[in-house]
Amino acid sequence: MRIGILASRRDWHANALINALERRSVRASCFLIKNFVAMISERKGRALCEGHVLEDYDAILVRTIPLGSLEQIIFRMDVLHGLEDSGVKIINSPATIEKTVDKYYTSLILERRGIATPKTTVTESMDKAMEAFNAYGDIVVKPLFGCGGKGMVRISDENLAYRTFRALEMGRYVYYTQEYIEHGDRDIRVFVVGDRAIASMIREGKTWKTNIAQGGKPRSLELTEDLKDLSVSAAKALGADYSGVDIIKSDKYYVVEVNSMPAWAGLQKVSKRNISIELADYVIGKLNYRNSAVLTHM
């Protein structure tokens, strides 16, 4: 069994996964997703990365996809789709990644599944964006694509909203506006693997931003059954094999985001479970199940 890890760099997470897989006697390699080379011949296509033929791997675990131009992102996703079509198990699947990196698509899917998420207006019209601000009164403006809390701003002043939207208009950005929900500068991150919520934490921020990358501090949290069910439901709604589900609590619980390429270094500090081992065991289990199903039908 061979498992590859795709990342933007070989970091703590990639090393932790390689160690976890090797403890299970699985050969693991890490390579950088920006080094893809795709070849098409009369017989079949081949996807290469740093000398590795990716079709030779049983599974590819996507840790991170770095920022790039529209062409670069589309090409990387095309390669992942092609590998999946060739029979390589991609975790998370390209379809899931495409849904979760798009904040509008994520919000739409959650709402349609009956999962509470903040009121949201997405538009290309500055006038409609101002109408959304006036309706909500206090908003968070987010980039449609992004992670780690970067680029998010909270606006409760009409003049500031106007100037912000005018600047975004000049860059031809989409206005993704979301009603701000008071949450005491803290949120909940739940790490879901398969149909299990395996670890969780409270993230306490210095401001309303609670991301670890923005200075948030992790604190251990014992999950209730309600939070487990909510987190697993959100992950399933996006079709994720593993994910980090972000939840805030106000009058009720709201799912803010489902991250299909979550970091867990901060979470591991307050979790009793070895998250890398849990994820490695899940991937191995999926492959063993698929292989046994193939043998049964031969």
Q: Determine the Cα–Cα distance for residues 259 and 242; give it in Å rounded to an integer.
A: 9
Q: Which CATH superfamily is domain 184-279 in?
A: ATP-grasp fold, B domain (3.30.470.20)
Which class would CATH give 119-179? alpha beta
DSSP assigned state of 101: T
What confidence score (pLDDT) does residue 151 get? 75
What confidence score (pLDDT) does residue 295 get? 47
Structure tokens at 229: 């069910």
What confidence score (pLDDT) does residue 291 get? 66
Domain ranges of the chain: 2-97, 119-179, 184-279
252-to-139, 177, 240 alpha-carbon distances in Å: 18, 20, 24
What's the half-sphere exposure (Cβ side, CA atoms, 13 Å) at 215? 6
What confidence score (pLDDT) does residue 292 get? 63
Query: Within 10 Å of residue 258's Cβ, how many Cβ atoms?
Result: 28
Q: Which of 221, 259, 245 is nearest to 99 (CA)?
A: 259
DSSP assigned state of 222: P
Q: What is the mean pLDDT of the chain?
A: 91
Q: Among 3.30.390.30, 2.60.120.560, 3.40.50.20, 1.20.120.920, what is the CATH number of 2-97?
A: 3.40.50.20
What confidence score (pLDDT) does residue 287 get? 92
Identify whether 92 is preceded by a cis peptide bond (ω within 30 of 0): yes
What confidence score (pLDDT) does residue 184 get? 87
Mean pLDDT by 10 residues, the chain (298 residues): 92 95 95 92 80 93 91 95 95 96 94 96 95 95 75 91 93 92 92 97 85 80 94 98 96 94 94 96 89 54
Q: Which of 294, 293, 297, 290 is nearest to 59 (CA)?
A: 290
pTM of full prediction above 0.85: yes
Q: What percent of the chain has pLDDT over 70?
A: 94
What confidence score (pLDDT) does residue 117 get? 96
